[in-house]
């Protein structure tokens, strides 16, 4: 039970496992012209289809984003061969603002219909997202040992934060054409939280006593969890138990009785001329209030790591320190009864995104688009810019290529295809195409920073079309 290290380590592994099979909820789909999901991020972007039906596989997205893990920071060229360089990676990190996140979403049901100037859609979706943010010293400590952190005047900043959410979303969107140029939309959402785990570290500092070589930690850590899986979540042994969905029934998954939240998407689009248009949207503005089987732990105290010994007294970097033992001693008190609170409600916010989009139609079958967006990550709003070209061929094929500039999650080259086979609408898009290819590593380094990607695919039935 004392092995609280599992709380952080398991969540790190959880992020990594998802990342391996996933790819940030990218926006490439919204760049395809006249596609039924054009209004995914902005309910004010006009949907021209008269009837839209989707079930299960209509819209699936998996993604990952991060600030620091990229090819250039991980490898060094030695005699023409790329070699893993952990110290180079550590030195490339920001002191505090490093994060990695993943997400998954799947539409369970979507129904949309147009009534003259009004388009209404109902969407039922399952969503999962995780975010880990960490300090430079947190990783540097395990790579280089504690030799740099001797004495109270030179501590290591061991701060780490985790936020993981699993929830369902039931939304009803309404889009209205005020006239031939202006369309406005709103999409309120009822959210049902399934599981949450969050770690808020307000500043855990670690230093080594220069005389005894004991590792001393000054910890200030808060852990909050909530789940509908465990009827008594108290004293769980592994954080992954919170997200163990094996024992959950369908009725529990969609009960909408506890862990309720609310969200909203807002937007509008305006046609300046026949071939120029702009749109402004706010996506995922809202929160979830966790009220079911919640647990809270906090710890604010000094902890002495007594079992951390040196194999070689002449080299502090040769520290024989079991990571499990470190977390067991450092964070074990967080799990004590004295610091545990049951029955406290708490809130988590959605990952809000604001988007400003403009397009120019060179011809009816070719469009240039620019999208400026602010997205939420590691408790901050961050900018990104996307430039895209989209074209239609033979009336059944839509293609798009896009390039995204982002200081924080990296530049990326995306692509997408949409096939219209009668009423059947198939699509596959990604915001980072190169990361999915086997291009030469040097080519990849020049074109993309290799830090983020997503894949979105689906099949939807679209019937009829309103004149644009």
Name the most confidently modeled range: 16-30, 217-231, 244-258, 307-321.
217-231
Tokens representing 198 are 């969050």
Tokens representing 381 are 């709003």
Question: Could you tell me the domains of the chain?
Answer: 5-465 (2.40.160.40)
Instruction: Quote the pLDDT of residue 245.
Output: 57
What integer is the mean pLDDT of 42-47? 92
Of the pLDDT bands very low, low, confident and very high (cuts 50, 70, 90), residue 282 is very high
Instruction: Quote the pLDDT of residue 253.
Output: 61
Backbone angles phi, psi at 444, to 5 degrees: -60, -40
Is pLDDT above 90 for 44? yes
Query: Counting Cβ atoms within 10 Å, is residue 250 exposed (0-12), middle (13-18) or buried (19+)?
Result: exposed
Is pLDDT above 80 for 366? yes
Please, what is the average pLDDT of the chain?
Answer: 75
Is pLDDT above 80 for 261? yes
Contact 303, 330 (CB under 8 A): yes
Is pLDDT above 70 for 120? yes
For 284-295, write each residue's pLDDT tens digit. Answer: 999 999 887 666
Instruction: Quote the pLDDT of residue 243.
Output: 61
Name the most confidently modeled range: 2-6, 124-128, 138-142, 371-375.
124-128
Give the whole-number percent of the chain exceeding pLDDT 70.
69
- Shortest CA distance to 402 belongs to which of 63, 35, 65, 27? 27
Lowest average pLDDT, out of 87-91, 265-269, 461-465, goes to 87-91
pTM: 0.80
Give the whole-number percent of the chain exceeding pLDDT 90.
23
- Shortest CA distance to 90 belongs to which of 130, 10, 152, 144? 144
Of the pLDDT bands very low, low, confident and very high (cuts 50, 70, 90), residue 15 is very low
Is pLDDT above 60 for 328? no
Q: If DSSP states are collapsed to H, E and C, what string results for the chain? A: CCCCHHHHHHHHHHHHHHHHHCCCCCCHHHHCCCCCCCCCCCCCCCCCEEEEEEECCCCEEEEEEECCCCHHHHEEEECCEEEECHHHHHHHCCCCCEEEEEEEEEEEEEEEEEECCEEEEEEEEEEEEEEEEECHHHHHHHHHCCCCCECCCCCEECCEEEEEEEEEEEEEEEEEECCCCEEEEEEEEEEEEEEEEEEEECCCEEEECCCCCCEEEEEEEEEEEEECCCCCCCCCCCHHHHHCCCCCCHHHHCCCCCCEEEEEEEEEEEECCCCEEEEEEEEEEEEEEECCCEEEEEEEEEEEECCCEECCCCCHHHEECCHHHHHHHHHHHHHCHHHEEECCCEEEECCCEEEEEEEEEEECCEEEEEEEEEEEECCEEEEEEEEEEEEEECCCEEEEEEEEECCCCCCEEEEEEEEEECCEEEEEEECCCHHHCCCCHHHHHHHCCCCEEEEEEEEEEEEEECCC
What integer is the mean pLDDT of 108-118? 93
Is pLDDT above 50 for 448? no
Radius of gyration over every alpha carbon of the chain, rounded to an integer in angstroms: 25
Instruction: Quote the pLDDT of residue 384.
Output: 85
For 380-437, write each residue's pLDDT tens digit. Answer: 777 888 899 998 888 889 999 988 887 766 677 888 899 999 899 998 888 776 654 4
Is pLDDT above 70 for 235? no
Instruction: Quote the pLDDT of residue 324.
Output: 44
Is pLDDT above 60 for 132? yes
Give CA separation, 150 vs 315, 365, 392, in Å: 13, 65, 64
Lowest average pLDDT, out of 38-47, 102-111, 357-366, 407-416, goes to 407-416
């Amino acid at each position: 039970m004392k092995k609280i290290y599992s709380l952080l380590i398991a969540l790190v592994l959880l992020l990594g496992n998802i990342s391996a099979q996933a790819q940030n909820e990218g926006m490439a789909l919204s760049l395809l012209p006249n596609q039924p999901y054009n209004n995914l991020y902005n309910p004010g972007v006009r949907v021209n289809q008269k009837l839209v039906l989707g079930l299960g596989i209509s819209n699936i997205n998996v993604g990952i984003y991060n600030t620091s893990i990229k090819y250039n920071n991980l490898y060094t060229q030695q005699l023409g061969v790329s070699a893993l360089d952990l110290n180079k990676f550590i030195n490339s990190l920001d002191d505090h603002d490093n994060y990695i996140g993943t997400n998954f979403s799947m539409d369970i049901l979507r129904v949309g219909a147009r009534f003259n100037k009004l388009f209404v859609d109902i969407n039922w979706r399952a969503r999962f997202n995780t975010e880990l943010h960490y300090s430079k010293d947190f990783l540097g400590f395990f790579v280089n040992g504690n030799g740099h952190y001797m004495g109270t005047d030179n501590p290591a900043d061991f701060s780490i934060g985790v936020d993981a959410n699993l929830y369902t979303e039931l939304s009803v969107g309404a889009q209205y054409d005020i006239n031939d140029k202006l369309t406005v939309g709103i999409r309120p959402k009822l959210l049902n939280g399934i599981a949450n785990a969050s770690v808020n570290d307000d500043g855990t500092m670690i230093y080594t006593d220069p005389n005894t070589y004991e590792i001393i930690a000054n910890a200030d850590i808060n852990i909050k969890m909530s789940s509908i899986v465990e009827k008594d979540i108290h004293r769980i042994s592994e954080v992954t138990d919170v997200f163990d969905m094996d024992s959950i029934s369908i009725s529990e998954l969609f009960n909408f009785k506890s862990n309720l939240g609310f969200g909203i998407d807002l937007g509008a689009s305006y046609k300046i001329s026949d071939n120029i248009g702009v749109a402004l949207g706010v996506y995922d503005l809202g929160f979830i209030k966790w009220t079911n089987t919640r647990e809270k732990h906090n710890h604010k105290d000094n902890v002495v790591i007594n079992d951390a010994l040196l194999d070689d007294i002449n080299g502090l970097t040769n520290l024989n320190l079991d990571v499990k033992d470190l977390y067991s001693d450092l964070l074990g008190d967080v799990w004590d009864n004295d610091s545990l609170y049951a029955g406290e409600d708490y809130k988590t916010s959605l990952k809000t995104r604001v988007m400003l989009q403009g397009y120019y139609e060179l011809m009816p079958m070719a469009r240039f688009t620019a999208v400026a967006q602010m997205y939420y990550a590691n408790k901050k709003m961050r900018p990104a810019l996307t430039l895209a070209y989209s074209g239609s061929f033979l009336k059944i094929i839509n293609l798009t290529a896009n390039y995204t500039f982002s200081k924080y999650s990296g530049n990326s080259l995306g692509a997408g295809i949409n096939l219209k086979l009668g009423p059947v609408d198939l699509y596959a898009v990604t915001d980072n195409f190169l990361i999915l290819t086997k291009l030469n590593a040097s080519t990849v380094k020049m074109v993309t920073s290799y830090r983020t990607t997503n894949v979105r695919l689906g099949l939807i039935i679209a019937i009829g079309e309103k004149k644009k």
